[in-house]
Amino acid sequence: MNIVVLAGGLSTERDVSFVTGNMVSKALRKNGHNVILLDVFMGYSDKPEDLTGIFERSQEVSVEVTSIPSTAPDLEAVKKSRKDQSDCFFGPNVIELCRMADIVFMALHGENGENGKIQATFDLFGIKYTGTGYLSSALAMDKGLSKRLFQANGIPTPAGISMKKAECERDFKKTGLTLPCVVKPCCGGSSIGVSIVRTEEEYNQALEEAFHWEEEVVIEDYVEGREFSVGVIDFKALPVIEIAPIEGFYDYKNKYAAGSAVETCPAELPENVTKEMQHYAEEVARVLGLNTYSRMDFLLNKDNKMFCLEANTLPGMTPTSLLPQEAQAVGVNFEQLCEQLIEISLKKYQ
């Protein structure tokens, strides 16, 4: 097949997305496909191009990728570096190339990758893509909204509230919550802008950090415990993986720097706890309508009580990512996983 792997964009996870895209591109080429790795924001070329036969020289026109930096990208600098300086989110030739492809593999993470806007655009253009559709993407991306859906459907999740910047409550006592708590951007990813708050002074600092990234934040009870993740493919849960950061919590650095966390798959848990967590992961997929693949994040306290934090609609596919490790635990290697995700996604169009 002719495949566009779409990466980059303008989210705080731009750099992570490129590494996902690079890994996926290599795997799909190994599987025999013609693959173009494309930056959705920068596009291909800034002048009129004859795109005839472009997939036969796919590697020549693909983005070149390096490793993930230890800090989030400067998005204003990225915007200023685009040659055509258009106000259109899609870079030159992006829509044209995606329409020429048999399918677009969505290697995007974060805003305008996982919030459903690109999926909705592609639906209107008749472009086939991997992953769930626009509505389920939007529901999962909004942590405040997905939390309310979890609560309404009996899926355990930390108690919390959403707060917009224009209506920000600086007095912690008036929030109705207790310390410690967690403050995080409502629609962010890769733990960027997330703070664990233990004092009222830290609360205001955490608000400043979270509002730096977004106009809405989620404030929720802090759960002391072990961290887990469960991938779900076609509504069926994969083995549970445990993530144990060597220092601190599972933040941006610990997610992507090799050796920063110990990851165990399958997780060492009692069988009944494993099955319960897998059940709730499948329930999240059902409730949010995540009909292809996704990954749910959980915390487990000392009493083995679990809490679902969020759903990821386009899980990372980097060398340290969790979904590929979970698939490997059931005998599915990286190349097979990429192929499987395409096959399941194409079922949407049958």
Q: Which three-class secondary structure string do you get for the chain?
A: CEEEEEECCCCCCHHHHHHHHHHHHHHHHHCCCEEEEEECCCCCCCCCCCCCCHHHHHHHHCCCCCCCCCCCCCHHHHHHHCCCCCCCCCCCCHHHHHHHCCEEEECCCCCCCCCCHHHHHHHHHCCCECCCCHHHHHHHHCHHHHHHHHHHCCCCCCCEEEEEHHHCCCCHHHHCCCCCEEEEECCCCCCCCCEEECCHHHHHHHHHHHHHHCCEEEEEECCCCEEEEEEEECCEEEEEEEEEECCCCCCHHHHHCCCCEEEECCCCCCHHHHHHHHHHHHHHHHHHCCCCEEEEEEEECCCCCEEEEEEECCCCCCCCCHHHHHHHHCCCCHHHHHHHHHHHHHHHHC
- Residue 181 included in any domain: yes
Query: Where does a domain end: 178, 195, 221?
Result: 221
- Are 18 and 119 in the same domain? yes
**CATH number of the domain residue 107 falls in:** 3.40.50.20
The per-residue pLDDT for range 90-143, each reduced to its tens digit, is: 999 999 999 999 999 999 998 889 999 999 999 999 999 999 999 999 999 999
- Residue 94 included in any domain: yes
pTM of the model: 0.89
**Does 250 score more than 50 pLDDT?**
no
- Residue 338 included in any domain: no
Query: Where does a domain end: 110, 129, 148?
Result: 129
- Are 166 and 104 in the same domain? no
- Are 239 and 316 in the same domain? yes
Confidence of residue 47 (pLDDT cuts 50, 70, 90): confident
- Are 228 and 317 in the same domain? yes
- Are 197 and 213 in the same domain? yes
- Give the mean pLDDT of 250-267: 69
Q: How many domains does the chain have?
A: 3
The per-residue pLDDT for range 69-104, each reduced to its tens digit, is: 777 788 899 999 998 999 999 999 999 999 999 999
The per-residue pLDDT for range 314-325, each reduced to its tens digit, is: 999 976 789 999
- For residue 234, give its domain range: 224-330
- Give the mean pLDDT of 150-163: 94
- Residue 110 included in any domain: yes
**Does 147 score more than 50 pLDDT?**
yes
- Residue 146 included in any domain: no
- Residue 228 included in any domain: yes
Query: Where does a domain end: 129, 148, 168?
Result: 129
**CATH number of the domain residue 208 falls in:** 3.30.1490.20
- Are 315 and 217 in the same domain? no
pLDDT at site 248: 59
- Give the mean pLDDT of 243-247: 82
- Give the mean pLDDT of 214-219: 88
**Does 11 score more than 50 pLDDT?**
yes
- Are 174 and 279 in the same domain? no
